[in-house]
Structure 1
């Protein structure tokens, strides 16, 4: 039971006496047992500063009912399904709810929104509490190698042909503003799950992601350029601008670690790829990206 002065929704606090008196009515087959438990429950609600009106109303609701009536209460008839608008609860949530109800007629009058046949039901979900903010339920494993001591940055592996097209650096520059940005993670040509940036001689940039080694993906880009692949935006630009494949430059900008408890790392990569495409402004015509995938955010 929550204390009455907390910031829980009023509807939740009003429903607690009802649900608790209903519970003891279902458990008690004898009336004297119900009255004993109801008296004790009423005292506990008073200790939590619940109003006498709420407590008395909930108790009287079940005093005139039998145990069997509570156990086999008739089900409510199915009504027309309503759309739920799920938001985090806050002290001003009731204002949000009243605004929706007050101006719903504007949405209802839009012919393109005929799927909304009735006012949505505002449903509150619990916001993060102190435990969510301060306590970590799972500690990441300690690294078993010395790489955690190496400063974050992009490094050459020194053993592949793609090393000639990158550079050792801790930062990279925004392709439009020139602002220096820090590379996230220790990235080499052999690193998997990488967000990378390609640069052409005319300054345009392309953001991509790969679950394989970075050198494998870069080799594919160079192959697409040499073969004039008309399905690759990078190859199309290099062909149209008569750039030589040797002028391609790349840099790994973020290493996306696989979730320690498992999960879809490709979905994480798609989210980070979309973030960097938006942040660096690499969508056509300012860059070479044609679009980015928003499905991982849905």
Structure 2
């Protein structure tokens, strides 16, 4: 009964009756004990060279070229004995429409040099831009009261995008900010704002950091140091990336306790929604 059902399924899949009957009688003549016994095949070493190519409609032309010109190499007096027999042509499946349109969300990590421990986590300047003098090289940071330290779990430098950073003031006050652009661009904006605040008389029009440095540190921007503490990478399909970075900034503002008067943050993402006329990011 089971054999009849199996024969019917093979017929539905397009197998000919002749091949099905031949397989049926071959299986019927085989001993049951020998069918259940696993036979081990002796693996032989094959030194033949194989040329593996992607299959396409013109693959036969490569085979013809090898068959025509390979004997010329073998009869050469210099190459005789060094050239093996004609390589065997093997084909692998070419990329189809599915391979071109669909990709996995799981990505392998970037390879690193043999013998090393891979890229070290932490914040570091790139050494090639104007913002490097204001960015610290460190793998940890502390909260505003210096009672707890945190480890930087990503590799962040001047050109990293989607960064939550900490600005350290000489009077030990902290400011937490974020940017979806390169970190160096946001750092340079803070430095230029502090330098421009030196000639500003209306303190209410100044932002948090420029106003503080004008009142406490004579608008000396070299005293301000930055640390990239968290990195939010962009997903494959994008999504609400800017919102995620802003939410991560809010989390660090409350975790490090940087709101006034303990720090220099006057607002966070939960209390301030940027309008279309202001580039908050």
TM-score tier by shorter-chain length is 0.5 to 0.7
Equivalent residue runs for 1:256-271 within 5 Å: 256-271=232-247
CA–CA distance in structure 2, aligned partners of residues 217 and 273 of structure 1: 14
Equivalent residue runs for 1:191-270 within 5 Å: 191-228=160-197, 230-243=205-218, 244-270=220-246
The total of aligned residue pairs comes to: 160
TM-score by length of 2: 0.53
2:110 is the counterpart of 1:141: no
CA–CA distance in structure 1, aligned partners of residues 178 and 111 of structure 2: 25
CA–CA distance in structure 1, aligned partners of residues 176 and 242 of structure 2: 15
Shift of 1:177: 2.9
Contact 2:253 2:268 in 1 (8 A): yes
SS at match of 1:141: coil
Higher helix share: 1
The aligned residue for residue 150 of structure 1 is: 119
TM-score by length of 1: 0.50
Contact 1:155 1:168 in 2 (8 A): yes
Shift of 1:173: 1.5
Distance 1:141 1:238, change over 3 A: same
Q: In the TM superposition, what whole-angstrom CA distance separates every residue of 1:188-231 from its partner, at most 9, and x where no partner exists?
A: 01111100000111111100000111111000000000111733
Shift of 1:293: 1.5
The aligned residue for residue 167 of structure 1 is: 136
Q: In the TM superposition, what whole-angstrom CA distance separates every residue of 1:69-104 from its partner, at most 9, and x where no partner exists?
A: xxxxxxxxxxxxxxxxxxxxxxxxxxxxxxxxxxxx
Q: 2:265 aligns with which of 267, 284, 289?
A: 289
CA–CA distance in structure 2, aligned partners of residues 231 and 290 of structure 1: 13
Contact 1:140 1:260 in 2 (8 A): no
Distance 1:218 1:181, change over 3 A: same
Cα RMSD (Å) of the superposition? 2.4
Distance 1:149 1:262, change over 3 A: same
Shift of 1:166: 2.1
Shift of 1:152: 1.3
Shift of 1:283: 0.4
Shift of 1:146: 4.1
Larger radius of gyration: 2
CA–CA distance in structure 2, aligned partners of residues 184 and 200 of structure 1: 23
2:279 is the counterpart of 1:279: no
Which consecutive unaligned segments of at least 5 residues does structure 2 have?
Answer: 1-103, 273-281
SS at match of 1:197: strand
